[in-house]
Amino acid sequence: LQTSNEAKESEEKTHFFNVPAFLTVSGQLHLEVMAGAFTHVFTFGPTFRAENSQSRQHLAEFYMVEAELSFTESLQDVMQVMEDLLKTTTNRVLSKCPRDVELFHKYIAPAQKTFFVLFFFSSSCRISYNEAVEILKQAPQTFTFKPEWGCDLQREHEKYLVKHCGEVPVFVLNYPYDLKPFYMRDNEDGPQHTVAAVDLLVPGIGELCGGSLREERLPLLQSRLQRLGLTDSYQWYLDLRKFGSVPHGGFGMGFERYLQYILGVENIKDVIPFPRFSHSCLL
């Protein structure tokens, strides 16, 4: 019979890296390491979700543009980079690939041109999570998921908020503390405890970008990781603060959702060559 130590050693030898390893859901934490040296950094690469969904908005593997900005204490700075990225990229696509875009706007989504006119010639809307919930509660329509403070916004909620704000991009700020990941900066407000997080909602899609200020204060981050039982797994992340850090923040934008937005394609599986989702990984 194997002893417990022998069994553990045997199990570890079966791992390629000698320890359990998992697909990353994002490059964000790695970007935080690099931002400590290069200030403004970004990455574009595959990310993964284990969500058991076959909806028109979800994939198990997709691509994301992510950015991290050092020396920023303002969520407004992060939002400005989000908006500038979206406008600059879209303008570039429209100028370099007009025939391709026109093809989709003619045969797939004729109304999409209107969204672009509104987007480029009007200001984005900015509301707090609190305001968003109140808008949803007062909405004349009935939602499948009842809007309540402390609950995540569903796609039906996001689409209504965009419509309510005039079909322009909508920034939703300051989400409940318990709703967001450990790395988001505590606003230390009350009685409704929130973090400095922001989502960018766009017409036809809902959430396109998500970001936040990061928690750079070591004691607050240690406390939260201890409560979650994640201290050992994220000791390296704590060390970034222990040995010196700066206020910073960042965001990610789903590339396939961006393509859906500019082309008017309803199903995300139609904007990626090899769509992989729950119960389907043919290639």
HSE of 5, CA atoms in CB hemisphere, 13 A = 0
**DSSP SS3 for 180:** coil
Greater confidence, 195 or 54?
195
Pick the range with the lowest mean pLDDT from 83-87, 112-116, 117-121, 277-281: 117-121
CB of 254 closer than 8 Å to CB of 263 = no
Domain boundaries, the chain: 27-270
Pairing of strands 125-128, 170-176: parallel
**Whether the predicted pLDDT of 121 surpasses 80:** no
Pairing of strands 206-213, 170-176: unpaired
* Confidence (pLDDT) at 6: 61
List b or e across 10-26, with b for residues whose CB sees 16 or more CB atoms inside 10 angstroms: eeeeeeeeeeeeeeeeb
Mean pLDDT value of segment 148-174? 94
In the numeric block, which tokens belong to residue 267? Answer: 């199903």
Pick the range with the lowest mean pLDDT from 50-59, 118-127, 170-179: 118-127
Q: Using pLDDT thresholds of 50, 70 and 90, give the confidence band for residue 184.
A: very high
- For 225-249, the pLDDT digits (tens) are 999 999 998 999 999 999 888 999 9
* Confidence (pLDDT) at 58: 83
Strand ranges, E, within the chain: 40-48, 61-70, 125-128, 170-176, 194-202, 206-213, 248-254
pTM: 0.88
**Whether the predicted pLDDT of 185 surpasses 70:** yes
> Which residue from 186, 206, 209 is spatially nearest to 78, judged by alpha carbons?
209
Q: Using pLDDT thresholds of 50, 70 and 90, give the confidence band for residue 280.
A: confident
> Which residue from 115, 120, 118 is spatially nearest to 84, judged by alpha carbons?
120
Mean pLDDT value of segment 132-152? 95
**Whether the predicted pLDDT of 262 surpasses 80:** yes
Q: What percent of the chain is predicted at pLDDT more than 70?
A: 90
Greater confidence, 11 or 82?
82
In the numeric block, which tokens belong to residue 36? Answer: 């400590």
Fold classification of 27-270 (topology level): BirA Bifunctional Protein; domain 2 (3.30.930)
- For 52-103, the pLDDT digits (tens) are 877 788 899 999 999 999 999 999 999 999 999 998 998 899 899 999 988 9
* Confidence (pLDDT) at 168: 86
Q: Calculate the alpha carbon distances from 256 to 93, 109, 158, 217, 224 in Å.
A: 14, 16, 18, 34, 33
In the numeric block, which tokens belong to residue 156? Answer: 């039906």
Place of tokens 């796609």: 155
CB of 259 closer than 8 Å to CB of 273 = no
